Amino acid sequence: MTTELATGVGGTEEHRLALTDSSATVLSVASILAESAYRRGDKIALIEDDRQHTFAETWEQARRYAAGLQARGVRPGDRVALLAPNVAEFVFAYYGIFAAGGVVVPVPTLLTPGEAGHLVGDSGAMLVISHASFGETGAAVAQASGVPHADLAELADHEPLARMVPSRPMDVAVIFYTSGTTGRPKGALLSHLNMVMNATVNAFDVGRTVEPDEVVLACLPLFHVFGQTSVLNSSFRKGSTLVLQPRWDAARAIELMAEHDVTLFCGVPTMFVGLVDAARDAPRLPKLRHAGSGGASLPVALLRRFEEIFSAEIHEGYGLSETASGASANQATFGTRPGSVGHGMWGVETAIADPADRARIRLLEPGETGEIVVRGHNVFGGYLDSENLDGAAATAAAVVDGWFRTGDLGHADADGFVHIVDRLKDLIIRSGFNVYPREVEEVLMGHPDVGQVAVIGLPDHRVGEEVCAVVVPATGRRIDPEELGAWARDRLARHKFPRRIEVVDALPTGPSHKVLKRELRARLARPGNDEKVSN
């Protein structure tokens, strides 16, 4: 049967493609761009430095890339590894892979060739494509994984693909590798339905309004699920303009937002820290309407500082690679509650389950702390089965009774707002008492000299685990560990306050700018790193 899908401008034959398939149900992430090209083709879709591309131009380029991929042997269901920063070519290639019927395997740009090579090999990708700025890395990755390599510029030298290859809703669209903050990354299989629904819900149900003149800064890595769903796909789903920032720099981000009248900023907590610091020296601040935070818990003190400086309310949300990014968010429908991640998004349920009962999901009452579980259209299809992972076993442990176990601890208040307490694996048990790092971090962030903090548990022969705070001073400030320790002792119970405080210039972060607590634990647990600063 044939279904007409609008994919260009003006409804002319060259801008409309016929999807021919034996199934009546077709759905592709590519349609997010295709439909915007048809409905608002002359509108600016992408801004990168002095380059601008309309939606029609962006979709044409994507179809050129699709043709180039087909010329290199990409067939429906084939996996293509994409290595590129936040540049227009990433967007062309991303939608081009879908238009060719392929599966996107995003490769974080901060990985070493060896790490990236392992990811590519593990994913089963048949081709590595890379931006010119990562040409040598792309070639090394391809060699390490034993697959062919192509430069993105080579793919553009083709006539646009005449017909988009159809995909079914449950076909795998993207393989996201988990961030690896607590262990070896696993490949999560996200379907076209997962990705399209999450982008649609983000675009039309989470935000306050669908603003036709919205301009969004794309500084979150587009290789990450947060950047792809909440920024790229959600923006294009409602026809918003994206301003691309290839490499994160807080001062430059403020310049770009002011220059291009950006109305929406989405980022992770480390980015909000940078913006608050950089705002002190910025000659002009952007006129943001709102901001979105995710990826990790946002300290309330930091939220207040940002909102005061930028006069824009932050809507904090929550999600994971396995939930196609969004699971819950502070939404206009329910109002916002600082310190919470709001309610389940449209079509998504969030609940709190007993973390000790691994064989089934036993839901807890409001106010009780347990493991956050999620079910809905956003939950992934499972983990990739590879030589390093029994995907079926890992999936069975993660998806129980139809609910995805997130590994995060939290509780729901009487009004249904979900509050994240911490990662289940980050829980500190000191002398038999539970210590939630986020609670300690929230208190320490209230000190005027503290710019950023990560609290971890370190092995201790007396109490099992000792509470350690790793602190970055605020710009222009210095931290006296003894003074900060005494300050914390006055505000936290005896088993909670950090008896060890380490002052550092920066916290280690992964490719998605999330703090890597496992690296801090490994570094500070080494022999000789066991000094205490308070008793």
- 184-212, pLDDT tens digit by residue? 679 999 999 999 999 999 999 887 656 77
How does residue 3 score in pLDDT terms, banded at 50, 70 and 90?
A: very low
How many CB atoms neighbour CB 504 within 10 A? 15
Least confident window among 2-6, 295-299, 384-388, 462-466: 2-6
* Model pLDDT for residues 497-534, shown as the tens digit of each residue: 899 999 999 999 887 788 888 899 989 986 555 444 44
User: For residues 111-128, b (16+ Cβ closer than 10 Å) or e, as one string?
Assistant: bebebbbbbbbbbbbbbb
Give the 3-state secondary structure of residue 349: strand
The answer to whether residues 107 and 116 touch, using CB atoms and an 8 Å cutoff, is: yes
Residue 374 has pLDDT above 50, yes or no: yes
What pLDDT was estimated at residue 493?
84
Three-class SS of residue 34?
helix
Domain-embedded: residue 342: no
pLDDT at residue 127 above 60?
A: yes
Q: Nearest Cα to 323, choosing from 197, 163, 181?
A: 197
Out of 122, 142, 168, pick the residue that ends a domain.
Answer: 168
Q: Which residue has the higher pLDDT, 298 or 30?
A: 30
- End-of-domain residue from the set 168, 195, 221: 168
- Is the pLDDT at 414 greater than 80? The verdict is yes
pLDDT at 403 over 80: yes
77 assigned to some structural domain:
yes
Q: Which domain holds residue 495?
A: 427-524
- pLDDT of 5 strictly over 80: no
Q: What is the pLDDT of residue 21?
A: 44
Number of domains in the chain: 2
% of the chain residues with pLDDT over 70: 92
Residue 80 forms beta bridges with which residues?
104, 127
Q: Are 155 and 102 in contact (CB under 8 A)?
A: no
Higher pLDDT, 118 or 410: 410
Domain boundary among 146, 168, 190: 168
Integer Cα distance of 210 and 207 in angstroms? 7
What is the rounded average pLDDT of the residues 269-289?
A: 94
Amino acid at 205: D
Bigger pLDDT: 416 or 9? 416
Q: How far is CA 115 from the centre of its chain?
A: 19
Asked whether residue 65 is assigned to any structural domain, the reply reads yes
Alpha carbon distance 502, 531 (integer Å): 9
Residue 20: band (very low, low, confident or very high) from pLDDT cuts 50, 70, 90: very low
Place of tokens 């001062």: 251
How is residue 489 written in tokens? 């002792």
DSSP class of residue 298 equals P
Question: 10 pLDDT band (50/70/90 cuts)?
Answer: very low
* Averaged pLDDT score across all residues of the chain: 90
Contact 347, 201 (CB under 8 A): yes
Per-residue pLDDT, 275: 97
Strand partners, 130: 83, 151
CB atoms within 10 A of CB 15: 18
| CB contact at 8 A, 90 and 222 | yes
Q: Which residues pair with 5 in a beta bridge?
A: 17
Share of the chain above pLDDT 90, in %: 75
pLDDT tens, position by position, 38-55: 999 999 999 999 999 999
Q: What is the pLDDT of residue 352?
A: 97
The position carrying tokens 């900060």 is 484
- Looking at residue 69, which CATH number applies to its domain? 3.40.50.980
The number of beta carbons lying within 10 Å of the beta carbon of residue 76 is 12
Region 385-407 average pLDDT: 92
Spell out the alpha helix ranges (H) of 317-410. Answer: 391-398
Total residue count of the chain as it appears in this document: 535
Cα 237 to chain centroid, rounded: 18
pTM, 2 dp: 0.85
Euclidean distance between CA atoms 235 and 123, whole angstroms: 28
